[in-house]
Amino acid sequence: MDKLEIEGGVPLRGEVAISGAKNAVLPILAATILADGPCVLEGVPDLRDLDTMIRILRELGVEVEKGPGILTTQVVDDSKCRAPYELVKTMRASICVLGPLLARRKRAEVSFPGGCVIGPRPIDLHVAGLEGLGAEMRLEAGYIHADGRKMSGREIYLGGAYGPTVTGTANVLMAAVLTPGTTVIEHAACEPEVADLARFLVAMGGKVVGIGGPHLEVTGVDRLTGARHRVIADRIEAGTFMTAAAITHGDVVLRGADASHLTAAIATLTRMGVTVERRADKSIRVRALERIRPTDIVTLPHPGFPTDLQAQFMATLCVADGNSFVTEKIYPERFIHVAELQRMRARIRKEGPTAIVEGVDYLSGAPVMASDLRASAALVVAGLAARGTTLVDRVYHIDRGYERIEEKLVALGARIRRISDRTPAPLD
Ligand code: EPZ
């Protein structure tokens, strides 16, 4: 399994191009099941999770052609409705095929997604939302068996104990676009990735009103055509590079990132004493000229502070000039990175869903273990600032959601390299 070896202490300088958003392109790819005609997706990142979704679509009778930054899809067999455990177990976002299968093929057999290291991730809201539209769902032998023949437009409330659900909103939205009648989704997720999916559905001929807000109105249509769509930039990749610039006291320009999707992250960096400049050419310049200041973070649904940036910001606050409180309100157990950061000399104490981060004057490079996508990004960010060498093991986690991360970092002056050994990465 590949490792990343990082010699820390180099201020990052230069420009980095931000890739397309993983969490937008995955549901958008699932939505191509709905299309009567070819779809062309542009600005597509090259990621392990995308390959998994492509394999699932091929299992479901969708031809997918992959080119540099482009994907072309065409439904060739409408009879398939089974998304197998072998694939679904490697990526929770596979659940996003449930809505499109029900809408277009009126039946689905999707493996129930298993456990996740970031904490419990039930899909009760997905099920309740689709049952709310009239789908009949049952769980048998580890598979969700769903029948959509009786679906019709209705009012659906999608709020849960931790707020709205991102992929749950995506599933109900994709089911509703081809379902007769009007569906109203209340407490829908407002993440930019959900809005991007909704724009793609509209490009295919869908009728969706209220895009980007918590109240969505969908009027079912009989048929959706193919469409061409450019995927939004990855705000989580952008936020990760912002913390890398901050923790190394660098000066980095992000190209292609959308600052309007990063307001909470930018406000937090500003509180940490980092200079963030939105430039006329739409690029974002990040400079850290002084020691990082401590601040408190509470993760919330969008437009609040994203949980997917919590670990990277925590790593940065480890070298702040004082104490910070980081509270995780979306996944209260999402602190698996803490123990690895502590191995790097970080001083972090966990109290329930809050981590108290006592800033230290320096982090020390060490061998560390990646456990999930964002935790591994946080270890890379910490390693870039640490004294000495950090060796991040199991980087297949990072390849799931970051396109060529070490190449992009080397281009910014980082001393980082991938150490490949031929042991194949486990399928999680
Ligand atoms: C999406 O996951 C993202 N994944 C996650 O990013 C992200 O962390 C999450 O949204 C929150 O922003 C993709 O878009 C592919 P949720 P999703 O349903 O849709 C609870 C990454 O690193 N909940 O919005 O699975 C749930 O347990 C990944 O790229 C229910 O209780 O998240 C959580 O506490 C990790 N019942 C909260 O709601 C449900 O049926 C939000 O989850 C669904 C969710």
Distance separating alpha carbons of residues 208 and 416, to the nearest angstrom: 45
pLDDT for res 425 = 53
Nearest residue to 263 via CA among 305, 301, 300: 305
Q: What is the pTM of this model?
A: 0.97
Say whether pLDDT at 428 is over 50.
no
- E strand or H helix that includes residue 83: strand 82-83
Dist. CA 290 → ligand 1 center (Å)? 35
Q: What is the pLDDT of residue 422?
A: 55
Cα 185 from Cα 206, distance rounded (Å): 15
Active-site choice (81, 116, 190, 318): 116
pLDDT at 204 > cutoff 60: yes
Per-residue model confidence (pLDDT) at position 411? 98
Q: Rounded to whole angstroms, what are the CA distances from 386 to 4, 363, 367, 382?
A: 14, 5, 12, 6
DSSP string, 309-373: GHHHHHHHHTTSSSEEEEE-SSSTT--HHHHHHHHTT-EEEEETTEEEEE--S--B--EEE--SH
- Asked whether 21 lines ligand 1 (CB < 6 A), one says no
- Distance CA(163)–CA(187), nearest Å, equals 8
pLDDT grade for 120, boundaries at 50, 70 and 90: confident
* pLDDT, tens only, 91-105: 999 999 999 999 999
Is residue 360 very low, low, confident or very high in pLDDT (cuts 50, 70, 90)?
very high
pLDDT band at 427 (very low <50, low <70, confident <90, very high): very low
For a mutational test of ligand 1's pocket, the pick from 308, 334, 400, i.e. the residue with the most ligand atoms closer than 8 A to its C-beta, is 308
| pLDDT single digits (tens) 5-31 | 999 999 999 999 999 999 999 999 999
The predicted model gives 367-383 an average pLDDT of 97
Tell me how far apart the alpha carbons of residues 358 and 299 are, in angstroms, rounded to a whole number: 19
CA of 129 to the centre of ligand 1 (A): 15
Torsions phi, psi for 251 (to 5 deg): -145, 100
In this prediction, residue 302 carries a pLDDT of 98
Cα distances (angstroms) measured from residue 222 to each of 79, 204, 268, 414:
18, 12, 45, 53
| Residue 426, pLDDT score | 54
| Mean pLDDT of all residues in 106-129 | 91
> Distance between CA atoms of 413 and 12, rounded to whole angstroms?
6
pLDDT at 235 over 70: yes
pLDDT value at 158 more than 60: yes
Closest CA to 197 of 219, 229, 223, 224: 229
3-state secondary structure of 275: strand
Closest among 383, 386, 234, 378 to 313, alpha carbons compared: 378
Ligand 1 contact via 124 beta carbon (within 6 Å) = yes
What pLDDT, on a 0 to 100 scale, did the predictor assign at position 1? 80
Percent of the chain scored above 90 by pLDDT?
A: 95
Confidence label for 36 from pLDDT (cuts 50, 70 and 90): very high
- Establish whether residue 25 lines the binding site of ligand 1, counting it when its CB lies within 6 angstroms of any ligand atom: no
Tokens of 110: 């999707």
Query: Over the range 266-300, which residues count as b (16 or more CB within 10 Å of their CB) and which as e?
Result: bebbeebbbebeeeeeebbebbbeeebbbbebbbb
pLDDT digits (tens, 9 = 90+) for 257-289: 999 999 999 999 999 999 999 999 999 999 998
Which of 167, 172, 191, 298 to mutate to test ligand 1, by most ligand atoms within 8 A of the CB atom? Answer: 167
The mean-pLDDT minimum among 186-200, 307-321, 324-338, 412-426 falls in: 412-426
Two tokens at 141? Answer: 């032998």
Mean pLDDT of 127-140: 97
Q: In what order do the strands lie in the sheet with 3-7?
A: 367-369, 389-393, 3-7, 415-419
Whether ligand 1 lies within 6 angstroms of the CB of 93 is answered as yes
CB-count exposure of residue 362 (10 Å: 0-12, 13-18, 19+):
middle
Q: Give the mean pLDDT of the chain.
A: 96
Report the percentage of the chain scoring pLDDT > 70. 98
Buried b / exposed e along 210-237 (16+ C-beta atoms within 10 A): bbbebebbbbbeeebebbebbbbbbbbb
Task: Assess whether the C-beta atom of 101 lies below 6 angstroms from ligand 1.
Answer: no
Summarize the confidence of residues 58-82 as an average pLDDT.
97
| C-alpha atoms less than 13 angstroms from C-alpha of 248 in its C-beta half-sphere | 30
DSSP 7-52: E--PPPEEEEE--B-HHHHHHHHHHGGGEES-EEEES----HHHHH
Per-residue pLDDT, 119:
85
